[in-house]
Structure 1
Amino acid sequence: MLRFARNSPASARRTPRRLLAATVALLSLSFAGTALPHSVAAAVEPSGALPVTAASPQVPAGVTAGVAVFDRQTGTFTEQLAPAATFRSASVVKLLIALDFLWNRSPDTIPSADRTRLDVMLRSSQDAAASHYWSTYGGPAIVARMVTRLGLADTAPPPAGYEGYWGYTAMSARDTVKTYRHILESAPAPVRDFVMQRLRQSTRCASDSFDQHFGIAAAFDRPWAVKQGWSGRYAQGTCGPASAAAARGAGTAAAVPAGAGGAGGASVDLSRPALHTTGTVGAGDRSIVAVLTLHPDGTSYGKAYTDLGRLTRSLNVPGGTAPAGKWYGTWGQDVAVRTGPVVGDNLVTRLPAGVEVLVGCQRKGQLVSVPPYSNDWWAYLPQYGGYVTNIYLSHPDNQLPDVPLCTSQK
């Protein structure tokens, strides 16, 4: 929803929507690459960080989910929703690829080239590294070996005809939990430490410029460790200061090849966009969390990010702490996040279109004008380390009513 300055004339409030097109050029002067929303009819209601002791998973409409949360302190599951349902794993299978390579090897003795590959594969989800191990060590045989070694019940190699697509490996939430339990409780200490250290150092921008700090990484304060997965033709899933035009089309790793539709003869859906968040939360890796999701065809990254985030925040995750702040929806494409509450050569990143963000505090800064709209309030986004003008937050007032003032110069 567009917001009006307090002194905006009543006539401005009745500005026909078709006149919004005239503001695009003005928008680009201060926020290069941004675009007006397709609809500005209603604001997305802010949703404060949900408590981590919610009664049951809250699955947004249209989302198919498999969920498992295991409390290692009590040895019990605190959440299970279709835990045996299989999903195409996307990059979550990189855990199995890494474990297979390290099965009879110590990270301390492997060649430096392999340490580098494993590092970027686990931290930044590099596809080229996964493809190297997949092609070198037997492809589907990697999955078959790990199924036997870990006693996985629902995991299976890619279906016939798609053997080269490691991301089409079938996995379930409960098998994902079992994989993490192996890493933490059964793997040799050097392997455990090597893998978990890299998952704790997950980069916001993946190797393909996809913003991978969704789900667990956004829903909980550190300590956490994550291995995320995404598959599908998401629009605007990119991150970093690079222009959206240069990065457009990113986030399609392991995307559906031409001619693949439906389940492709497999027990997993190969077509709907997938977004998975898996990892550990809390001191001592207390809780293992696996949330595997599919979204309707055509879902934008911002919508999938938001829906997965709301689902993850609704879970009972022992040891997890919700970050301070309030969640607000955004509108606009490639909205700039800046180091300070001013427009200039201070770009941190650009927000994926329509993504929900955590607002930590707000302060006055440079007046931003998009006639007939103007606002001098800026919101600080702690998870991005920068400011966004309140114009692009889905609330009708210039100043957010439930967000404190920033008390320090961030």
Structure 2
Amino acid sequence: MKLLRSGLSAVLAGSSVIWLTAAVSPTGSAATTTAAADAVVVPPGVTAGVAVFDRQTGQFTEQLNPDLQFRSASVVKLLIVLDFLWNRGPSYEIPAADKTRLDVMLRSSDDDAASYYWEQLGGGKIIDRMVPRLGLTHTARPPATHPGFWGYVALTAGDTVRIYRYLLDQAPAPVRDYVLGNLHQATRYGTDGFDQYFGIASVFDPAFSIKQGWSGFSSSTSARAKPKTDAVDLTSEALHTTGTVGAGDRTIVAVYTLHPDGTAYGKAYTDLTRLTRTLTVPGGARTPGSWLTTSGSGVRVRTGPTTAGAVLGTLPSGVDVLVSCQKKGQLIDAPPRSSDWWAYLPKYGGYVTNVYVGSGAPKLPGVPDCQ
């Protein structure tokens, strides 16, 4: 059975600002309050689970609903690859055919590869094995009604930090290097065509690794009828960003989000990235520039400020993008807007006409010219 990405539980209504005031211990339990933490800003209507762990200090810098279960979508692929590698020591050599599948599963979030290993390794037995191995506390199999749906595995932000801590601090070096090496080389687009550079990848530069998850969006392969269970929401659109930030993978970041049913991918992409921008992430270097909202659908990013430039990618509809500078180029006339200026997007390494960036002014206010 081909298993698909899925969406999660809207248990808590997302208020616009949630203040975190409790200090937390390295194990994730709340400790005595010592000072107010920075605010984690959760966009209206969004349900979020957040855990940010600084490996250098051994402390969490952010926690919000760390034990709230979400359907994992593609984040469960971390457990699939770890289960595959578990008993392959001491060399941990991976057969060529498996390496090809696992590489694309980790870098480009390939669903076919995940479905292959879910079946080969026993489905829910993967979760039964990995929970005690990694000391996970709130991870569970898919619901009994959908045993083949690996994306319906329940995961939490707190358990995701535990997975990364195992990878970074306890896993045999060949396992760590293989898995993290792939996550550091994540492609901009998944094999299903979705742009997976939201959240961590949009905000931080240059040192990050990511394993993202998305589920339930209308043009994805998981856009089938979505069942409901009492335990985990399988209806709302789900978007998750997980990985590491900073030199030496200093900080582990796990952000899980649910969005109102029917939310467009670009809207969820923007809301998750906005939330991620409010986090305290030690060691994280933030790419400089101005965050501006785009308009239009299928907007292309090109190698130069002209339609003759090669297409580097296509923006999700109505998404926030980081603009570092702007450059004069080909005049684009798309009434009622017109401009011969192009915005440079450092995260894409290319240009988008100003016609589709910001308020529609021919030249973006407050954005410097490219040198």
- TM-score w.r.t. length of structure 2: 0.87
The alignment status of 1:204 with 2:168, answered yes or no, reads no
Q: Residue 296 of structure 1 corresponds to which residue in structure 2?
A: 260
Unaligned runs of 5+ in 2: 1-36
Task: Give the stretch that moved more between structures: 271-280 or 335-344.
Answer: 335-344
Alpha-carbon RMSD: 1.5
Does structure 1 conserve the Cα–Cα contact (< 8 Å) formed by 2:53 and 2:253?
A: yes
The aligned runs of 1:177-216 (5 Å cut-off) are 177-216=161-200
Deviations 1:203-246 (A, max 9, x none): 00111111111110111002100000011124xxxxxxxxxxxx
The alignment status of 1:99 with 2:82, answered yes or no, reads yes
Q: Residue 12 of structure 1 corresponds to which residue in structure 2?
A: none
Does structure 1 conserve the Cα–Cα contact (< 8 Å) formed by 2:110 and 2:190?
A: yes
Does structure 1 conserve the Cα–Cα contact (< 8 Å) formed by 2:358 and 2:364?
A: no
Same amino acid, percent of matched pairs = 62
Q: Residue 30 of structure 1 corresponds to which residue in structure 2?
A: none
Paired AA for residue 281 in structure 1: V
Report the 3-state secondary structure (helix = DSSP H, G, I; strand = E; otherwise coil) of the residue aligned with 1:379: strand
Equivalent of 1:336 in 288, 295, 300: 300
Distance 2:303 2:353 in 1: 12
Distance 1:110 1:337 in 2: 37
Report the 3-state secondary structure (helix = DSSP H, G, I; strand = E; otherwise coil) of the residue aligned with 1:178: helix
Aligned length: 335
Q: CA deviation at 1:144?
A: 0.9
Is the radius of gyration larger for structure 1 or structure 2? 1
The aligned runs of 1:4-403 (5 Å cut-off) are 55-106=38-89, 108-234=92-218, 249=219, 251-252=220-221, 255=222, 257-258=224-225, 260-262=226-228, 264-265=229-230, 267-344=231-308, 346-403=310-367
Distance 1:345 1:86 in 2: 45
Distance 1:196 1:269 in 2: 29
Q: CA deviation at 1:257?
A: 4.2
Unaligned runs of 5+ in 1: 1-53, 235-248
Report the 3-state secondary structure (helix = DSSP H, G, I; strand = E; otherwise coil) of the residue aligned with 2:39: coil
Does structure 2 conserve the Cα–Cα contact (< 8 Å) formed by 1:336 and 1:388?
A: yes
Q: CA deviation at 1:66?
A: 0.1
Q: CA deviation at 1:333?
A: 0.5
Higher relative contact order (Cα pairs below 8 Å, separated by 6+ residues) = 1
Task: Give the stretch that moved more between structures: 358-367 or 72-81.
Answer: 358-367
For the structure 1 residues 280 and 330, does the alpha-carbon distance in structure 2 shift closer, same or farther, using more than 3 Å as the test?
same
Distance 2:164 2:336 in 1: 53
Does structure 1 conserve the Cα–Cα contact (< 8 Å) formed by 2:92 and 2:175?
A: no
Deviations 1:341-393 (A, max 9, x none): 11236322221110111101101111111245321111011111211111111
Distance 2:118 2:306 in 1: 47
Q: CA deviation at 1:145?
A: 0.5
